Amino acid sequence: MTLTRSAALSAALLIGVTAVASCARTRAAEEAYPPLGQFVTVNDRRVHYVQEGSGPDLVLIHGASGNVRDWTFRFVDRVKDRYRVTVFDRPGLGYTDPDPALTGPFDARAEGPEDQAALLHAAAEQVGVSNEVVVGHSYGGAVAMAWALNHDPAAAVVVSGATQPWPGGLGFMYNLTGTSLGGATFVPLVSAFVPRGIAKTAIAAIFDPNTPPDGYADYVGAGLTLRAESFRTNAQQVKTLRPHVVEMSKRYPDLRLPLEIVHGLADDVVPIDIHSEKLVEQVPGANLTALEGVGHMPHHIAPQVVEDAIDRAASRAGLR
């Protein structure tokens, strides 16, 4: 057997083992963390949502690497007594279908925040949502701002939102997994073989300098994000976000809706000085609440502050 033939057989074996292991982990993640809500179909794509409560409509949008479970972990229970709360999985994450035109293993394109907002807004209309307060966390903050720009909600709330162009890059991991080659080769390896303990380490880093609430890491379903397709989609969405917020930010001064912003001063994931401190200056009448000692997850570390911001936005919009 020649070295070339041996290498080819070894590569084929690795690909086969990786595919089997990745599929097994996907099945295990979906069995452990099944859909929490219902589905609506938009343009032949299933959109997963959870809807609870009664009152004015409140839409919650999760951030990168997330799903509906980030918001349904305790927060929905805090507000469903006075709002009808609808929580969506963003495209390609949780159980909402990605754009089928962008799912090839070597395809590095991704749906930007405006495309995502359009899909979720169409889904919201189908389930009866109207005159809504839309809330977005982290990457979801960009989607909430796209919703505000294009779909006329009653008000918006941005929590630790990635809403502005930022200097520099995103680091080695996103630069690798968000490319066509990395998405096709490295992502399946991560999906198949990365130790599951890494997820809790990553969650702790996202909350830093704060501590995740008891039970959060076990509830949120990080295994769903480690599915190969979701992992690839998430990386590509993050890697391609900047050009979208470059263009969106030019339109922020045209907004005339109540906008509340909540951001931790200790947030090293989406720094407040790059994002929310600029956003509050761009949108007329916007209000920023900055939280001392709070990192990237205010809706879990300071949930009352986020509740208050939602209530203020709803009151300013005449909904309360």
pLDDT, tens digit, 9 for 90 and up, residues 278-289: 999 999 999 999
What pLDDT shows up at residue 196? Answer: 63
For the CA atoms of 149, 137, 157, 254, the dihedral, rounded to the nearest 10 degrees, stands at -30
pLDDT tens for each residue of 242-262: 999 999 999 999 999 999 999
The sign of the dihedral angle between the CA atoms of 278, 283, 284, 290 is negative
> Tokens 């809807």 identify what position?
51
Confidence class for position 109, pLDDT limits 50, 70, 90 = confident
Q: Can you spell out the DSSP letters for 153-180?
A: -SEEEEES---S--SS---HHHHHHTSH
- Is residue 94 within 8 A of residue 224, CB to CB? The reply is yes
Given a cut of 60, is residue 178 above it in pLDDT?
Answer: no
Kindly report the length of the chain.
320
- DSSP-derived letter for residue 252 is G
- Is residue 320 within 8 A of residue 81, CB to CB? The reply is no
Task: Name residues whose C-beta falls within 8 Å of residue 106's C-beta, 6 or more positions apart in sequence.
Answer: 180, 181, 183, 184
Confidence class for position 198, pLDDT limits 50, 70, 90 = confident
Mean pLDDT of 295-306: 98
pLDDT tens for each residue of 72-91: 999 999 999 999 999 999 99
H or E segment to which residue 186 belongs: helix 180-193
**Sheet of 133-137, strands arranged across:** 38-42, 45-53, 84-88, 57-61, 133-137, 155-159, 259-264, 287-291
Ramachandran angles phi, psi of 225, nearest 5° = -70, -25
For the CA atoms of 117, 121, 127, 133, the dihedral, rounded to the nearest 10 degrees, stands at 90
More confident residue, 97 or 15: 97
Q: What end-to-end distance do the CA atoms of the chain give, in Å?
A: 76
Confidence class for position 4, pLDDT limits 50, 70, 90 = low
For the CA atoms of 167, 92, 224, 105, the dihedral, rounded to the nearest 10 degrees, stands at -80
- Is residue 165 within 8 A of residue 269, CB to CB? The reply is no
| Crossing angle of the two packed helices 241-249 and 113-126, in degrees rounded to 10 | 80
Mean pLDDT of 150-168: 96
More confident residue, 102 or 196: 102
Given a cut of 70, is residue 188 above it in pLDDT?
Answer: no
Please tell me the distance from the alpha carbon of residue 303 to that of residue 196, in angstroms, as a whole number: 28
Question: Please, what is the average pLDDT of the chain?
Answer: 87
What pLDDT shows up at residue 194? Answer: 62
Please tell me the distance from the alpha carbon of residue 189 to that of residue 183, in angstroms, as a whole number: 10
For residue 309, which of 135, 122, 94, 74 has the smallest C-alpha distance?
135
Mean pLDDT of 217-233: 90
Q: Can you read off the two tokens belonging to residue 141? A: 């903050």
Single-letter amino acid code for the residue at 293:
G
Given a cut of 80, is residue 159 above it in pLDDT?
Answer: yes
Share of the chain above pLDDT 90, in %: 73
Please tell me the distance from the alpha carbon of residue 133 to that of residue 113, in angstroms, as a whole number: 17
What pLDDT shows up at residue 28? Answer: 85
Hey, what domains does the chain have and what are their CATH numbers? 37-316 (3.40.50.1820)
- Is residue 275 within 8 A of residue 241, CB to CB? The reply is no
Single-letter amino acid code for the residue at 296:
H
Given a cut of 80, is residue 193 above it in pLDDT?
Answer: no
What pLDDT shows up at residue 106? Answer: 62
At residue 167's C-alpha, the angle toward residues 289 and 234, to 5°, is 80
- Is residue 210 within 8 A of residue 297, CB to CB? The reply is yes
Please tell me the distance from the alpha carbon of residue 300 to that of residue 211, in angstroms, as a whole number: 10
Q: Can you read off the two tokens belonging to residue 120? A: 């979720």
What pLDDT shows up at residue 8? Answer: 40
